[in-house]
């Protein structure tokens, strides 16, 4: 199998995405292509990093994940391929891989500098097409990544908020709004282990409060604000049958506290 996924900020329906696929299939006609998302907000490296971290390991071992959120295209930032855990990644080195790499240090990182594995000529504005898509295709064909260029010492990192676990509270933030408008936090279910999750747990986000950490959306009446440990293992806030983000006007970065009396 040669499975390549694509994660970009090009927008759903952008022909630029098709161009990446055309380049890949020209090099490896047998590649299987899967879109992770193209709806990363334009140039939002952080959101791209969070999505990759959530999704990448759900794909088979050996999958090549191509990620193009690249506001610095044409400037000095490096473009790299890396092995992180059992999967391969191609991306600009701008922090896009930093959330994954913070959990699992890359086994190797190489810079994509060898013109033999790039399109010719290379534009100054679309390195996704000219450098990254070809590298993903060659990786899927089994090309040794050391042929792409010299080793790259370390990936750039972004500052990520760390939840704070205290004796009477856990403090985190909203990391991502999902497509249902649920507020996904960086407070993992593990951080709540051994603490009451019934009505003694008070979850506060902005001016809103709810009590108890539940198991399913459908247990509560339509319109109720609830907290539950979601499918990625982290605490989330949801309004049953509606978008919590829209109803409450809450965005990424808003503090969330779970407190016990």
The least distance separating a copy of itself from the CB of residue 112, rounded to whole angstroms, comes to 17
CB 66 within 8 A of CB 88: no
The least distance separating a copy of itself from the CB of residue 116, rounded to whole angstroms, comes to 19
Q: Is 155 in the site for a copy of itself (CB under 8 A)?
A: no
Nearer to a copy of itself by C-beta: 171 or 237? Answer: 237
Q: Is 171 in the site for a copy of itself (CB under 8 A)?
A: no
CB 91 within 8 A of CB 67: yes
Picking from 78, 66, 77, the residue whose alpha carbon sits closest to that of residue 17 is 66
CB 73 within 8 A of CB 127: yes
- Three-class secondary structure assignment of the chain: CCEEEEEECCCCCCHHHHHHHHHHHHHCCCCEEEEEECCCCCCCHHHHHHHHHHHHHHCCCCCEEEEECCCCCCCCCCEEEEEECCEEEEEECCCCCHHHHHHCCCCEEEECCCHHHCCCCCCCCCHHHHHHHHHHHHHHCCCCHHHCCCECCCCCCCCCCCCEECCCEEEEEEEEECCCCCEEEEEEHHHHCCCCCCCCEEEEECCEEEECEECCHHHCCCCCEEEEECCCCEEEEEECCECHHHHHCCCCCCEEEEEEC
Nearer to a copy of itself by C-beta: 42 or 164? Answer: 42
Q: Is 42 in the site for a copy of itself (CB under 8 A)?
A: yes
Nearer to a copy of itself by C-beta: 24 or 171? Answer: 24
* Binding residue for a copy of itself, selected from 140, 185, 230, 244, defined by CB under 8 A: 230
Q: Is 207 in the site for a copy of itself (CB under 8 A)?
A: no
Nearer to a copy of itself by C-beta: 134 or 171? Answer: 134
Q: Is 193 in the site for a copy of itself (CB under 8 A)?
A: no
Q: Is 186 in the site for a copy of itself (CB under 8 A)?
A: no
Site string for a copy of itself, 1-20 (x = CB under 8 A): x-x-x----xxxxxxx-xx-
Question: Token pair 């060898």 is at which residue?
Answer: 114
* Binding residue for a copy of itself, selected from 108, 160, 208, 217, defined by CB under 8 A: 217
Q: Is 104 in the site for a copy of itself (CB under 8 A)?
A: no
The least distance separating a copy of itself from the CB of residue 164, rounded to whole angstroms, comes to 25
Using CB under 8 A as the binding rule, the residues of this chain from 75 to 94 that contact a copy of itself are 75
Question: Token pair 């603490």 is at which residue?
Answer: 195
* Binding residue for a copy of itself, selected from 46, 118, 129, 152, defined by CB under 8 A: 129
* Binding residue for a copy of itself, selected from 89, 126, 138, 148, defined by CB under 8 A: 126
| Interacting residues with a copy of itself (CB under 8 A) | 1, 3, 5, 10-16, 18-19, 21-23, 25-26, 29-30, 32-39, 42-43, 51, 54-55, 58-60, 63, 71-75, 123-126, 129-130, 178-180, 215-219, 228, 230-231, 241, 243
């Amino acid at each position: 199998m040669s499975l390549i996924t694509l994660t970009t900020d090009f927008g759903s329906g952008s022909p630029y995405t098709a161009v990446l696929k055309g380049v890949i299939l020209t090099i490896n006609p047998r590649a299987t292509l899967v879109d992770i998302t193209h709806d990363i907000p334009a140039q939002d490296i952080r959101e791209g990093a969070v999505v990759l971290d959530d999704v990448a390991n759900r794909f088979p071992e050996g999958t090549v994940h191509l990620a193009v959120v690249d506001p610095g295209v044409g400037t000095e930032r490096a473009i790299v391929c890396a092995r992180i855990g059992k999967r391969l990644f191609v991306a600009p080195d701008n922090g896009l891989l930093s959330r994954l790499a913070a959990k699992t240090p890359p086994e190797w990182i190489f810079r994509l500098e060898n013109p033999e594995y790039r399109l010719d000529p290379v534009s100054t504005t679309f390195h996704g097409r000219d450098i990254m898509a070809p590298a993903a295709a060659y990786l899927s064909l089994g090309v040794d990544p050391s042929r792409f260029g010299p080793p790259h010492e370390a990936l750039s990192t972004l500052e990520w908020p760390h939840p704070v676990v205290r004796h009477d509270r856990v403090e985190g933030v909203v990391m991502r709004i999902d497509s249902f408008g649920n507020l996904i936090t960086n407070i993992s279910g593990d951080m709540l282990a051994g603490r009451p999750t019934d009505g003694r747990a008070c979850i506060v986000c902005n001016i809103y409060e709810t009590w108890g950490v539940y198991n399913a959306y459908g247990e509560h009446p339509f319109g109720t604000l609830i907290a539950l440990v979601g499918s990625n293992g982290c605490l989330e806030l949801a309004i049953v049958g509606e978008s919590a983000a829209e109803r409450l006007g809450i965005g990424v970065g808003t503090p969330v506290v779970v407190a016990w009396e």
